[in-house]
Copies of this chain bind each other. A is one copy, B any other.
Amino acid sequence: MTAPVAAVDAWMAANRPRLLDELLAFIATPSVSTDPAYAAGMAAAADLLLVRLGRIGLNDVQLLDGGGHQAVYGAWTGAAGAPTLLVYGHYDVQPPVPLELWQTPPFEPTIRDGRIYARGASDDKSPLWIAVSALEAWLAVHGRLPVNVKVLLEGEEEVGSAGLPAIMAAHRDLLAADVLVSADGGRWRAEPPTVNTNSRGLVSLEVHVRTAGRDLHSGRFGGPVGNAPMVLARLLAGLHDQQNRIVVEGFFDGLQRPSKADYDDMAALGFDPAAFFADIGARPGAIEPGVGLLESLWLRPTLEVNGIWGGYTGAGGKTVIPAEAHAKISCRLGPGQDPDRVAASLDAHLAARVPEWAVLVVEQTEPGTSAYAVPEDDPFLRAVERVIEQVHGAKPLHVGIGGTLPISAMAKQALGLETVTLSYAVADENIHAPNEFFRLASFDDGLKAWTRLLAEVGAMPGRG
């Protein structure tokens, strides 16, 4: 360990209680981007970050507007000749429903058994807090950073990062860097050490079916009249075969098969399927034939119903023929799939199968995102690997992430940047589900790792 890093570590140890308290206050801010009812929480979270970036000594601190929830920006660019990192995280979180399944309220962060339980604790508030805290520590101890850093904390990751393309187009110089380092993304497991090298894409649709002008009494009208939830059920049932293989024509166009290196990385992980299923309380068997479990999680496309509703869903019964039924569906995409083409294939498949006596509307609710993979020889990937080895004592295995980081595809396209990931979330932390949590041990490891990343990259040559 170098002396500058040791000094930062010491500062971290002394300031840990305050950093953690501030993190809990940040997590308690209910910043749900998808639901307008949380607009005040979104604004409060952005303000909190804005104040913090200024307080720790970043410059150019400002909100960047892409038409929706604003992104928070700040920079420190005094390391002439050193590389520039664009540090990425997101301050928005998923909706907390179903509330009744939370052991403690989702926006009252609670520490139990060495974990912070709250919505957003893992995705992505603690991981981004760690990155910002490493900047704070370096600046507090040394009055400077060993690298140039720009921080971009967006508020629309959970709704497809809709405003980021506009922000990137309007602020190319402000965001210019050598690489994007994502504090979002997470680790595969707490052990062994791993680094993410690819993520899946995402397409989201809503499907609406109508069969009559109004709900109808099932006795007075039942027989000659269509049933909207039944029509919807048949349409959804026709998207897969009985072995859970997607049967939508054109859906797989462009999909790349995993490489030998991909299979080798997955085999090296020594993954235990029994533990995976036991943890989530599910039985094995739903996987499509011929696909391995990790391939299924990281590289294969999916087609899920995220929500379905129609007719009477209250207490007791109601003998109604519902006139409408609705579903939210989304697909994770594998490498090579084009999001717009996937959406079009689904639209065409459903439209070809809806009976003539029903009305179907399919709408794409968020911009799609392609899958992303960082090149195997990227020098910043090497730097991240060295940092992880320093903190965890072993070279990290390469793993995929089944989730989607819209930022990666966008940063590549708009700014020409590759993405490396240094996030201390772990994939088992009930992300997007009740009782989301973050490990306090990850908080300490993450502070160490981000401190070392700044030092490692500071020793690398800059772009010019």
Total identical chains: 2
- Known A312-B328, A317-B366, A433-B216; contact A230-B224, beta-carbon cutoff 8 A: no
A304 is an interface residue with CB less than 8 A from chain B? yes
Contact of A318 with B281 in the complex, beta carbons under 8 Å: no
Contact of A284 with B233 in the complex, beta carbons under 8 Å: no
A229 is an interface residue with CB less than 8 A from chain B? yes
Contacts of A403 in B (CB 8 A): 217-220, 319
Restricting to A202-255, which residues have a CB under 8 Å from any CB of B?
202, 204, 211-227, 229-230, 232-234, 236-240
List the one stretch of A50-58, A167-175, A294-302, A336-344 in contact with chain B: A294-302
A308-323 interface bits toward B, Cβ cutoff 8 Å, 1 = contact, 0 = none: 1111111111111111
Partner among B233, B305, B430 whose Cβ is within 8 Å of the Cβ of A236: B233
A321 to B404, CA, bound (A): 15
- Known A213-B282, A402-B223; contact A230-B305, beta-carbon cutoff 8 A: yes
A199 to B219, CA, bound (A): 9
Partner among B297, B304, B320, B402 whose Cβ is within 8 Å of the Cβ of A433: B320
Contact of B357 with A226 in the complex, beta carbons under 8 Å: no
Contact of A287 with B402 in the complex, beta carbons under 8 Å: no
Contacts of A98 in B (CB 8 A): 215
- Known A215-B432, A280-B225; contact A305-B317, beta-carbon cutoff 8 A: no
A101 is an interface residue with CB less than 8 A from chain B? yes
- Known A307-B318, A316-B159; contact A223-B287, beta-carbon cutoff 8 A: yes
Shortest Cβ gap from A251 to chain B (Å): 15
A325 is an interface residue with CB less than 8 A from chain B? yes
Most buried by B among A293, A309, A312: A312
Partner among B35, B232, B323 whose Cβ is within 8 Å of the Cβ of A316: B35
Contacts of A94 in B (CB 8 A): 318-320
A14 to B223, CA, bound (A): 44
A218 to B314, CA, bound (A): 27
Q: Which 6 pairs of residues, A with B, have the shortest CB-CB distance?
A: A213-B281, A219-B403, A34-B316, A223-B296, A307-B311, A285-B357
New contact pairs (19) apart from A94-B318, A98-B215, A214-B434, CB-CB < 8 Å: A94-B320, A95-B316, A97-B318, A212-B281, A217-B403, A217-B431, A218-B304, A219-B401, A222-B297, A223-B297, A225-B282, A225-B286, A227-B304, A230-B236, A286-B358, A309-B309, A317-B328, A317-B365, A319-B403
